[in-house]
Structures are given as structure tokens and as C-alpha cells.
Amino acid sequence: MISASPAEVCAVYFEPRTWPSWVDGFGRVESSEGYPDEGGTLSWRSTPAGRGLVTERVLEHEPRRLHRIAFSDDASEGELTTRFQIAPVADGEPPATRVTQEVPVRAVPGAALAGAVARAAAPRGHRAGRGARGGTARPRTARPRSIAFAPAHDPSFLI
């Protein structure tokens, strides 16, 4: 939960100058056209130890409510769905926003770690696939998991 209104949270979420402070391995924007609107694209480069060139395409965008993108880099591809919801607060408390993200990720076939990523992402009971016995590993789609994005309970992170 973030102690700020959805408008304040979204202002930070979509502001490229803030991305290095909360996007792991973010380096710089390479190109942006129409982002964050539906159909918009964004390409960004990570820090040297990161993911390399990451491309994003906006699949769905409802201001202050929903943002869904398709993303890809050299080793993975998937979708990220981010939801912004007004959180209940006690009378007299400042507004709060709950941000949740779902990230089903797929390994890119042929990527150096595709087999390991596919086995790690597979549902329980399916991790010891053919790749573990010397056959061909096939990437599998991870089950969506919801995580809460809450960099602080204090609106000072918005500055």
C-alpha cells in the first residue's frame, strides 16, 4: 500500500526520470512512441549487468486503473499487468493506493538460459522435464503471480 492517491502514484509510475529508482537494472530510454497509451511502444536499455535491450508494447491502458504491456528482451518475453486501486483508509487518513502486478514470463527459445528458466518457471511437479534428462527443454509459461509494489508507506518517495 502506498500512502498517495492513484493520480500521484501514476505520475511517478509513468515518469521516466523516476524509473532508475525503482525499476531493477534500468539504464536509459532508447525510444518511446505514444507511451503509455494503448498501442504505444517503449525501448529501454538496462545497466551492463541487466537484461540488455528491453522492448515494451502497451496492450491496454486505463488511466489510474490499469496498464498492461507485452515485453521482450534477449532471454524472456511476457506480459505485465499493473493495477492501481484506491485502498480503504480510516477517516482522516491520507489517500492510499494498492498497486498489484501480474507477470507471467516465458523464456525465449534458444536463449542461453531458456531451459533453466523454463524449468524454474514451470508449475510444481513439472520442473523435471526432458531438459533435465538430456532431451530438449521447452519453455513453459509461468502461472501468473500477483505481487504488491510498495516502495514506501510514505509519500516522500514521490519526490
In a domain, 121, yes or no: no
Distance CA 70, CA 79 (A): 4
Distance CA 57, CA 60 (A): 9
DSSP state of 41: E
Between 144 and 9, the higher pLDDT residue:
9
For the domain that residue 92 is a member of, what is the CATH number?
3.30.530.20
Amino acid at 156: S
Residues 105-117 pLDDT 10s: 777 776 655 545 5
The count of domains in the chain is 1
Residues 20-35 pLDDT 10s: 988 989 999 999 999 9
Q: Is the preceding peptide bond at 139 cis, omega within 30 degrees of 0?
A: no
In a domain, 156, yes or no: no
Residues 67-125 pLDDT 10s: 999 999 988 999 999 999 999 889 988 899 999 999 987 777 766 555 455 445 444 33
pTM: 0.67
